[in-house]
Amino acid sequence: MARWKFPVGIFKAMRIAWINLWRKNIVIQYPHERYELPERARWSVEMTLDENGHHTCTGCKICENTCADYIINIDVSVDEERNKHINHWLYQRGACMMCGLCVEACPFGAIHMGKNIELAYFDKEDLTDDLLTDTDAVKPPRKERPAPTAKSEPVSQEAAHDGAGKTGKSTKEEGGADGDNS
């Protein structure tokens, strides 16, 4: 039989509960008040628009190949002049895990992780989103690379000599090695 002690804890707990009863609540009334998302919050993928309000997707499909969930499907058609035309840029929002790999992979910064947190829909079809429909792809800006050296350019004499000397040396070394072996 343990020694009986006065149950102080009960009254402590009741005091704390009484204080809490009159404290201001810590709840955000969601539809009426909004929580300010942190700067780095990542939600569903969105198209990045330039200053003219135009997308910058080139239809290169790198994001589609990067996607771990196979949820990006870009339907691209190419005409005779090798201009790409994006028919559909399908993005299954319902299956996306917001990992951001596609954004990292995009070499043109055409997509970014948006801040739209309201991803509940009444209809199953709304979960698949067509981000771009029937638009021309942007031609990627070509870097001015140095003109490639022509293969037909004759090798200079020195270089040829050097090469020969090198080969000579190498053959000698090889020969020596052979001698050692024999």
Partner 1 sequence: MNPWATGILHTLLLIVVMLLNGSLIIYMLRKVLGHLHLRLGPTELGPGGILQLVPDIVKLLVKEDRHPGKTDRWLYIIAPVIVFVPALMAYIAIPFSDKLIGFDVNLGVLMLFGFLTVIPLGIFAAGWGSHNKYALIGATRAVGGAISYEIPLLLSALIPIMLTGSFSLKAITMAQTTSVWYWLPAFPAMIIFFICSIMETNQSPFDMSEAESELVSGFNTEYSAMRFGFMYLAEFSNNFIMAAIMVSLFFGGWSLPFINPNTMGAFAPIVFIIKTYLVIFAFMFIRGTFSRYRVDQMLAFGWKKLMPIALVYTVVVAFFVKLISMKTGGGL
At 169, which helix (H) or strand (E)? helix 157-181
For 102, the token pair is 């596609």
CA gap 119, 127 in Å, rounded: 8
Stretch that binds partner 1, among 13-21, 66-74, 121-129, 161-169 (CB under 8 A): 13-21
DSSP string across 9-62: HHHHHHHHHHHHHHSPP----TTTS-PPPPTT---SEEE-B-TTS-B------H
Per-residue binding string, partner 1, 28-67, x by CB under 8 A, is: -x--------------------------------------
Closer to partner 1 by Cβ: residue 16 or 177: 16
- Residue 10 engages partner 1 in binding (rule: CB under 8 A): yes
For 104, the token pair is 């990292």
Stretch that binds partner 1, among 19-27, 41-49, 91-99, 137-145 (CB under 8 A): 19-27
User: 42, 127 in Cβ contact below 8 A?
Assistant: no
Stretch that binds partner 1, among 12-20, 122-130, 145-153, 174-182 (CB under 8 A): 12-20
- Residue 17 engages partner 1 in binding (rule: CB under 8 A): yes
Binding site for partner 1 (CB under 8 A): 10, 13-14, 16-18, 20-21, 23-27, 29
